[in-house]
Structure 1
Amino acid sequence: MNRFLPLALIALLLIIFRFIGSLFPETLPNFQPLAALFFCGACMAKDWRAWALPLSAWLVTYPAPALIEGNNSYLSVDALLTTGLAFVATYFIGKALSGRGLGTLLLGSIAAALAFHLITNGIAWIGSPIYAKNLTGLSQSLWTGPAGSPFPSWVFLRNMTAANLIFTTVFLSARFALPRFSPVSAELATR
């Protein structure tokens, strides 16, 4: 039972933040621990939990914004696939940095947030008719977002970067504090 307690607490944290973010989207849009968990899971776990826990939490909470905010754009297959691709990139960035020191992992979490932003907004630029198919349109997609949007795109990038840094620090700290749960944590702590 104690072995699965950290996993259960992380899953609960993810679900709570996902629903809080959906209830208050104007306060901290895109501030959630999910990308950090994909990143840290790949860095630290050596088995199926590296991808199963974040994937399960994401799929369980995926409809939350649509249900709470009434925004059904989240439920499109395109949005699901685009977000999934961005999480896969986040996971593989974490996998590539597995076993590295804390500073490298924190920089990696920033790189993962940037990759997520570039993938999701780049695909929006490619697929959405609201953006001109030139550098101006790409810049609008990556920086300002669509006309009339309550937030510019850079706010989502800023919040995701902050969330990745904070939650990566929390997850790594938890692993270092609980070495019996992770053979990798002792190795990372010595670097």
Structure 2
Amino acid sequence: MTKQTKFRTIVLLLMILMAALSRLLPHPDNVTPVGAMALFGGAYFSRKYLAFLVPLVAMWLSDLVLNNVIYARLYPDYYDGFTWMGNLWVYASFILIGLIGMRFLQKVNITRVVGASLGASVLFFLVTNFGAWMVDPMYPKTTTGLLAAFGAGIPFFRNTMLGDLVYCGVLFAGFEWAKSQWRVLQLQRAI
């Protein structure tokens, strides 16, 4: 790995980590960088394991703080003991969103980023609400129960889209601007 690719990789890693840390700041429900982090990693890391590993680890670390510090204090009846993992359905959607980034953002432009961001929001909605239906005993395991789970997620969908669009704008525009300022970042894809 050359100095140039190391520097670029570090910049990408720090951008994703900063996005994950922004989850710790007060924000409206579901206005988070979750989808954007996965798309960004998928778009810019050419080593596939980094495209998944960096955003997943950043997400997991922010989940550790959220679940064990912030949410544990806000909802003491719900959080009993140390929580090592977040919602597995969220992580599954995160991996699938990374694949969208790899596939559709090989060439980054505003149209592709907006389209991938909207697609990520829809995918997140479908996977996580399907997961809620699968594991939550309040939803009967029928078509009606599945529709009820999707219906319960509708109020959060707008904010998920907003979060994905805003954070995609910040991450992708920020990195593209940085590339225009520092030639060292102008590789086609990071390693």
Q: TM-score, normalised by structure 1?
A: 0.76
Measured after TM superposition, the shift of residue 123 of structure 1 is 1.5
Q: Which runs of 5+ in 1 are unaligned?
A: 145-152, 186-191
Question: Which amino acid in the other structure matches residue 178 of structure 2?
Answer: L
* Residue 165 of structure 2: aligned partner: 165
Matches within 5 A, 1:1-191: 3=7, 4-5=10-11, 7-15=13-21, 17-20=22-25, 24=26, 28-47=28-47, 48-67=49-68, 68-70=70-72, 71-72=78-79, 75=83, 80-100=87-107, 101-144=109-152, 153-179=153-179, 180=183, 181-184=185-188
Q: Which runs of 5+ in 2 are unaligned?
A: 73-77
User: Equivalents in 2 of 1:35, 1:108: separation in Å?
Assistant: 9
User: Equivalents in 2 of 1:166, 1:110: separation in Å?
Assistant: 11
Measured after TM superposition, the shift of residue 173 of structure 1 is 0.8
Deviations 1:51-99 (A, max 9, x none): 232112111111233221224389486x532222111111111111032
Measured after TM superposition, the shift of residue 9 of structure 1 is 4.5
Q: Is the 8 A contact 1:109 1:165 kept in 2?
A: yes
User: Equivalents in 2 of 1:76, 1:141: separation in Å?
Assistant: 25
User: Equivalents in 2 of 1:127, 1:13: separation in Å?
Assistant: 29
SS in 1 for 2:137: coil
User: Equivalents in 2 of 1:76, 1:125: separation in Å?
Assistant: 22
User: Equivalents in 1 of 2:98, 2:19: separation in Å?
Assistant: 19
User: Equivalents in 2 of 1:6, 1:93: separation in Å?
Assistant: 18
Measured after TM superposition, the shift of residue 44 of structure 1 is 2.1
Question: Which amino acid in the other structure matches residue 52 of structure 2?
Answer: W
User: Equivalents in 2 of 1:178, 1:171: separation in Å?
Assistant: 10
Name the CA shift for 1:42/1:6 in 2 (closer, same or farther; >3 Å).
closer
What is the identity percentage for the equivalent residue pairs of Structure 1 and Structure 2? 21
Measured after TM superposition, the shift of residue 114 of structure 1 is 1.0
Q: TM-score, normalised by structure 2?
A: 0.76
RMSD: 2.6
